[in-house]
C-alpha cells in the first residue's frame, strides 16, 4: 500500500540527508520525495511516499518523530487530503502524428509547452494514477525525455 507522509522540518543543512539515511538504514524505500519551503521560511515541508504495510508506516513515523529536526509528522493516507504530481514529457512527434498526440493532450488537459521540428513537450498535472494513465496513452509514441516531480500533498480542512 502507498502511504503519504508530510513532515514539517527545520530548514537547515543536512536535514534531508539524515532523513534519507534513516530510511536507507532500516531498509525502507522512498517511492517519491519532495521538499520545499513552507509559509514560514524557517521550515520546509517534506512529502514522502512509502510503499509498505501498516507496520512499515508505523515504524517510519516513529523513527521520523525521533529526529530533532522534525517539527511535525502527519500520515495523510487516511486523512482528507489533496495530492498532485507534475510531469514534463518530450514526445517524438513527426508532423503526421501531431494531431493524434494533441488529441490525447486535449483529452487529459495536458498543456503543450514546447514545439520543435520533430517533438512536442507537454506538462500535465494530476494524481499519480492520472499521470500513469496519461503515460499509458502516450507510450506508443516515442518518449524522448521524461521528468516526474513526485507527489505533493496537503491535508484538507485543517487536519
DSSP letter (8 states) at residue 27? T
Query: For position 46, what pLDDT does the model report?
Result: 94
Q: Which CATH superfamily is domain 2-78 in?
A: ACT domain (3.30.70.260)
pTM for the complete prediction?
0.83
Query: For position 158, what pLDDT does the model report?
Result: 62
Q: Which CATH superfamily is domain 82-155 in?
A: ACT-like. Chain A, domain 2 (3.30.70.1150)
Terminal C-alpha separation, the chain: 22
Provide the pLDDT confidence category of residue 159 given band limits of 50, 70 and 90.
Answer: low
Which residue intervals of the chain bear CATH 3.30.70.260? 2-78
24-63 per-position pLDDT tens digit: 888 888 999 999 999 999 999 999 999 888 888 888 899 8
Query: For position 25, what pLDDT does the model report?
Result: 83
H helix or E strand, kind and range, residue 86 = strand 81-92
Find where cell 536507507 sits: 24
Which residue intervals of the chain bear CATH 3.30.70.1150? 82-155
62-112 per-position pLDDT tens digit: 989 998 899 999 999 889 999 999 999 999 999 999 999 999 999 999 999
For residue 43, the number of C-alpha atoms closer than 13 Å in the C-beta half-sphere is 13
Amino acid at each position: 500500500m502507498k502511504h503519504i507522509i508530510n513532515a514539517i522540518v527545520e530548514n537547515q543543512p543536512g536535514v534531508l540527508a539524515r532523513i534519507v539515511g534513516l530510511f536507507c538504514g532500516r531498509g525502507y524505500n522512498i517511492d517519491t520525495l519532495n521538499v520545499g519551503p513552507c509559509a514560514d521560511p524557517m521550515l520546509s515541508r517534506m512529502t514522502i511516499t512509502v510503499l509498505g504495510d501498516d507496520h512499515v508506516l508505523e515504524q517510519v513515523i516513529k523513527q521520523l518523530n525521533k529526529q530533532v529536526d522534525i517539527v511535525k509528522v502527519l500520515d495523510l493516507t487516511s486523512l482528507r487530503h489533496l495530492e498532485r504530481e507534475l510531469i514534463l514529457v518530450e514526445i517524438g512527434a513527426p508532423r503526421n502524428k501531431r494531431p493524434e498526440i494533441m488529441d490525447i493532450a486535449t483529452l487529459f488537459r495536458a498543456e503543450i509547452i514546447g514545439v520543435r521540428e520533430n517533438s512536442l513537450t507537454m506538462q500535465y498535472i494530476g494524481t499519480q494514477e492520472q499521470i500513469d494513465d496519461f503515460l499509458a496513452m502516450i507510450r506508443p509514441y516515442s518518449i524522448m525525455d521524461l521528468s516526474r516531480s513526485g507527489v505533493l500533498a496537503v491535508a484538507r480542512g485543517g487536519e
